[in-house]
Amino acid sequence: MPKKTAHDFDQELLILFDAYVHGGIDRRTFLDRAAKFAVGGVTAAMLLEQLSPNFLEAQVVKPEDARIVQEYIEYPSPNGSGTMRGYFTRPATTARAPGVLVIHENRGLNPHIEDIARRMAVDGFVAFAPDALFPLGGYPGEEDKAREMFGRLDQAKTREDFIAAAGFLKARPECTGKIGAVGFCYGGGMVNFLATRLGTDLSAGVAFYGSSPNLEDVPRIKAPLMIQSAEVDARINASWPDFEAALKAAKVTYERHLYPGTQHGFNNDTTPRYDAAAAKLAWDRTLAFFRTHVR
């Protein structure tokens, strides 16, 4: 059976799923409202399963790939949660390489984000992907549970945990001392936030469909930014005009790419919202941006 894409689902259902994924509605409400799209022997629960991630099928770089070295590392976060943990991977060479902080969506360090980190390592970067859920026991292996746990985080501490992660990566002996950050959804918003806090310690940031930072903090941004936006993403895109005006006023170097016909989450190849052509173009642009500004 051909792999389903966003075009196989009603746009209203996709918007409903986006609201569910981001905590706007609970599972029961999603299933109740999705029932009207369940036809031809398909149930609402089956629709939810079709829209949910398939991590194994989408894996690009396997953990045992000989081109990389990987491990889980704890790091100190004195202004945040105290002790944190992340997934560290690098090219299997002795040479130092520039670093990239990889920041997950609102489900913690799931297998997809670990795969993204491995892809970065294959492309010549030292990658570090923290797990914001570590203070609550870490990514639980189940997406609904992860979302529920995410809502219990102290976000003030979590922001400090990512700031500490950036410093940890920058100081690693395998890293050249120059770092970038890439994030997706929640992680995209975190990239934008980190840019307002890290100053010149961040060499570049790439935010995939992430929320804007506090506009009064935009003048603190020193790193060039790349904003990757889905066209069909009203929730995130609504804040872009004001964010762009603030970037221009602060003379921040930035570029924004809007991918026609794409949904929020289009880079995530574990779900039907994935758009292969847009994701490839966005990823190629991301790598080129980091090679220019971080390497």
In order of their start, the domains of the chain are 6-51 (no CATH), 55-293 (3.40.50.1820)
36, two tokens: 């009207």
> Does residue 84 have a pLDDT over 90?
yes
> Does residue 143 have a pLDDT over 90?
no
Q: How far apart are CA 249 and CA 135, in angstroms?
A: 38
Give the pLDDT mean for 171-199.
97
> Does residue 130 have a pLDDT over 70?
yes
What pLDDT shows up at residue 23? Answer: 75
**210-267 pLDDT per residue, tens:** 999 999 999 999 999 999 999 999 999 999 999 999 999 999 999 999 999 999 999 9
pTM over 0.85: yes
Query: What's the whole-number average pLDDT of the chain?
Result: 92
**CB-based contacts of 79: which residues, under 8 Å, 6+ apart?**
157, 160, 163, 164
Task: Band the pLDDT of 152: cuts 50, 70, 90.
Answer: very high
What pLDDT shows up at residue 1? Answer: 45
80 or 271: which leads in pLDDT: 80
**CB-based contacts of 33: which residues, under 8 Å, 6+ apart?**
16, 25
Beta bridge partners of 182: 102, 206
What pLDDT shows up at residue 294? Answer: 97
What pLDDT shows up at residue 157? Answer: 98
23 or 130: which leads in pLDDT: 130
High-pLDDT (> 90) share of the chain, %:
74
